[in-house]
A and B are shown apart, each in its own frame.
Chain A
Amino acid sequence: MTDPMPNTPLNALQDPEITQPARSQWRDVWDQFKHHKGALLGGGFLIFVTLAVLFGDMIWQIDPKKLDIRNKDVRPIYTAIWNSDAKVSWGNPLGTDNLGRDQLAQVIAGGRASMAVGWAAMILTMLIGTTIGVLAGFFKRLDGPLMRFTDLVLSLPILPLLLVAVTLFRQPLRANFGPEMGMFILIVGVIGVTSWMQAARIVRGDILALKEREFVLAARAAGTTSRGIIFRHLLPNVLSPLMVSATLGLATAIITESALSFLGVGFPSDFPTWGKMLADAVPRMQEYPERVMLPGLMISLTVLSVNYLGDGLRDALDPRIRGR
């Protein structure tokens, strides 16, 4: 009888170290995202602006609509550095407008409106775009008509139509939902209806490729319904292109809302938004250039940060670039 083999594993087959648990996808994305300085800055600024417009009025408690005609045309506090005669006050650090409304409070309130419109319109755009894209990509019968329809909407002149729709429909909506809510619904609605086409095309393309893959076949063989396949298997896979598309949509929506306000067809005149503040400041920009700069900078910086965020997300979510 030979001795039984000693029960020790062979050294050659042993892993040199303990295997790490599998890293999640989002951890990888975050690691790649961290390398993009612009995207980090952009994301940070976006979070800062969002928090500031949401909770800013708890810290800076002046009512943005309060008229204080004695304190009208106060310059921002930093004007005192080079012009000691300027009318400045610590009570209004960013100055007041020609009706004495506090600029800082207006920027906060206006940002809330602009960001609300931007987010709502972006979400609506993504919803419409994803629905149409999924329907067109998944159901062969619907593909032809839906994509023809998308091409048709793409050849509509968007900005003129937006202007037409907003000018012509603001009266009934204002009458039904009140001046501010009616305008909000109208602007979010028209932006959503006119800008879903890119998202729809992206989603359709991805779904067309994904639905031929083996995991969808496996899911179908296991008896999953179409609805289950779409929600459990396909939609999570189109999430990354959708997120990039969503950042672009947010940027476009903020700019479009400001453009409409700037052209004078946006929210009612006593309701501050960034575009409205900019439009109100333009006639008197010779005397008070800072009133143009303030809302303009807010719009531009927000959109810039959203664009950088989208750039970083695109790099981080692309598995071919990730890890390089």
Chain B
Amino acid sequence: MLTYTIRRLVLSVPTLLFIALIIFLLLQLAPGDPMAQVPLTVPPEVKQKMREALGLGQPIHVQFWKWLVQMFWIEPQVFIDWLTNKSALFGWLPDTNLYTACGPTVEGPCDLRVISWQTRSPVMDIVVQRLPQTLWVVGMAYVVGILIAIPIGIYSAYRQYSVFDQAGTFITMIGFSIPPFFTGPLLIVIFSVQLGWFPFIYDTTHVVDDWDSFVFQLQQMLMPVMVLALQTTAQISRFMRASMLDNLNQDYVRTARAKGLSEAIVVMIHVLRNSMIPVVTVIALGVPAIFGGAIITEVVFSVNGIGQLLITALFANDLPMVLTITFMFAVLIVLFNLIADILYGLLDPRIRYD
């Protein structure tokens, strides 16, 4: 198992490099010019200087190499510095100063970080600012979706073709079919406009410090979470049902019943544990997809998370930001594919990778 994990980890490096190259080349081919917004009165030679200041004058392979260095060498240094200087977890370690910021006062070699063209601040700093909102909404939605889906899946498999199962099938079909950019406005029309129960703009500056503000936080999270959770529920309850159905007719279930075990123990322990194996891997595989899919939900409910950051960066031709965020999505996909495969091997002793 360990050798398999190590082999997969090593193999994922060229995959990620290749993905980074594809995204990079795609952005290079793009005709958009970051200088398009600069007034026409600026002379062309000044524009050329500005382009070079953004790092655009170099050949493509040099640009790609520099991005790689910034992403994998300088950003981790900044992160380690932050860990040892400011964070509560590792603040007791001696302060490191791996990263030297460039500036007029600095002499000698200094490190450049990945800089956003829109804001002229480091991309990773903005990403770190936006991450909590996305994680709260998307992560909560995923957990809620799983918690709803698993009981539905179990019960509809246990009572196959019952009314509950038919209704469950219909609802999952709806969950598959109605896109989030329709469920979002639909919920807003019903619950914000007609009933006035929930706010329809997610207030990210809201601070939770007492009971009322906590209730408000719950209210504003409810609708985006529900929109995302509908999609998750639809997928996972289908998988759960199919997997339970596969196991319910197995011989070991008959044996367990013949031994005189109660029905609850047979279903909830014997069958459920075996049925969870494929479902857990599906859950792991779905994590990156929900990050990507959350883009639309974030736009609908004005959550200023990662997805919304990507959209605004795209419209503003901010290539370093787009490259970094897209690459982070790719890392998530590769990572969770790996996690899913390893989990499958760990949970199911019948599967041996070596």
Chain A residues packing against B (C-beta within 8 Å): 38, 152, 155-161, 163-165, 167-169, 171-172, 251, 255, 258-259, 262-263, 265, 275, 278-279, 281-282, 285-286, 289, 292-293, 296, 299-300, 303-304, 307-308, 311
In the complex where A164-B326, A259-B181 touch, is A158 in contact with B315 (Cβ < 8 A)? no
**B311 close to A (CB within 8 Å):** yes
* Residues on B with beta carbons closer than 8 Å to the beta carbon of A163: 295, 310-311, 314
**8 Å CB contact of B330 from A157, A169, A265, A292:** A157
In the complex the two chains form, what is the Cα distance from A131 to B178 in whole Å?
31
* Residues on A with beta carbons closer than 8 Å to the beta carbon of B18: 152
- Asked if residues A152 and B177 are in contact (CB atoms below 8 Å), the reply is no
- B residues 178-211 touching A (CB-CB < 8 Å): 178-179, 181-182, 185-186, 188-189, 193
A30 to chain B, nearest CB (A): 22
* Residues on B with beta carbons closer than 8 Å to the beta carbon of A285: 185, 188-189, 193
A112 to chain B, nearest CB (A): 19
* Residues on B with beta carbons closer than 8 Å to the beta carbon of A159: 292-293, 295
**8 Å CB contact of B26 from A164, A251, A300:** A164
- Asked if residues A164 and B295 are in contact (CB atoms below 8 Å), the reply is no
Can you give 27 contacting A-B residue pairs, CB < 8 Å? A152-B18, A156-B19, A157-B292, A159-B292, A159-B295, A160-B310, A163-B295, A163-B311, A164-B322, A167-B32, A171-B32, A251-B176, A255-B179, A258-B179, A259-B179, A263-B296, A263-B311, A278-B181, A279-B181, A286-B193, A292-B185, A292-B186, A299-B179, A300-B174, A304-B173, A304-B177, A307-B177
- Asked if residues B296 and A259 are in contact (CB atoms below 8 Å), the reply is yes
In the complex the two chains form, what is the Cα distance from A160 to B326 in whole Å?
6
- B residues 128-178 touching A (CB-CB < 8 Å): 173-174, 176-178
* Residues on A with beta carbons closer than 8 Å to the beta carbon of B337: 155
* Residues on B with beta carbons closer than 8 Å to the beta carbon of A282: 185, 300
**B110 close to A (CB within 8 Å):** no
B188 to chain A, nearest CB (A): 7
Closest 8 CB pairs of A and B: A168-B30, A157-B329, A296-B182, A304-B177, A303-B177, A262-B181, A300-B178, A289-B189
* Residues on B with beta carbons closer than 8 Å to the beta carbon of A296: 178, 182, 185-186
- Asked if residues A308 and B173 are in contact (CB atoms below 8 Å), the reply is yes
- Asked if residues A156 and B330 are in contact (CB atoms below 8 Å), the reply is yes
By beta carbon, the residue of chain B nearest A262 is B181
Count how many pairs of residues, one from A and one from B, have CB atoms less than 8 Å apart in the complex: 122
A232 to chain B, nearest CB (A): 35
* Residues on B with beta carbons closer than 8 Å to the beta carbon of A171: 31-32
Hey, what's the 0/1 contact readout for B250-268 against A, CB within 8 Å counting as 1? 0000000000000000000
- Asked if residues B325 and A160 are in contact (CB atoms below 8 Å), the reply is yes
Chain B residues packing against A (C-beta within 8 Å): 15, 18-19, 22-23, 26-27, 29-32, 173-174, 176-179, 181-182, 185-186, 188-189, 193, 288, 292-293, 295-296, 299-300, 310-311, 314-315, 322, 325-326, 329-330, 332-334, 337
In the complex the two chains form, what is the Cα distance from A189 to B43 in whole Å?
39
By beta carbon, the residue of chain B nearest A148 is B15
A171 to chain B, nearest CB (A): 6
- Asked if residues B174 and A304 are in contact (CB atoms below 8 Å), the reply is yes
Q: A286-B193, A307-B177 are in contact. List 8 more A-B contacts (CB 8 A).
A: A167-B315, A171-B31, A171-B32, A263-B299, A275-B181, A279-B181, A286-B189, A292-B186
**8 Å CB contact of B31 from A168, A251, A255, A278:** A168
* Residues on A with beta carbons closer than 8 Å to the beta carbon of B26: 161, 164-165, 168
In the complex where A163-B311, A289-B193 touch, is A251 in contact with B23 (Cβ < 8 A)? no
In the complex the two chains form, what is the Cα distance from A160 to B299 in whole Å?
14
By beta carbon, the residue of chain B nearest A167 is B314
In the complex the two chains form, what is the Cα distance from A251 to B322 in whole Å?
28
* Residues on A with beta carbons closer than 8 Å to the beta carbon of B333: 155-157
* Residues on B with beta carbons closer than 8 Å to the beta carbon of A275: 181
- Which residue, of A258, A262, A299, has the highest number of chain B Cβ atoms within 10 A? A262
* Residues on A with beta carbons closer than 8 Å to the beta carbon of B325: 160
* Residues on B with beta carbons closer than 8 Å to the beta carbon of A262: 181, 296
By beta carbon, the residue of chain A nearest B172 is A307
* Residues on A with beta carbons closer than 8 Å to the beta carbon of B185: 278, 281-282, 285, 292, 296
* Residues on A with beta carbons closer than 8 Å to the beta carbon of B334: 155
* Residues on A with beta carbons closer than 8 Å to the beta carbon of B23: 161, 164
* Residues on B with beta carbons closer than 8 Å to the beta carbon of A293: 186, 189
* Residues on A with beta carbons closer than 8 Å to the beta carbon of B288: 157
By beta carbon, the residue of chain B nearest A286 is B193
In the complex the two chains form, what is the Cα distance from A87 to B15 in whole Å?
60
In the complex the two chains form, what is the Cα distance from A293 to B337 in whole Å?
37
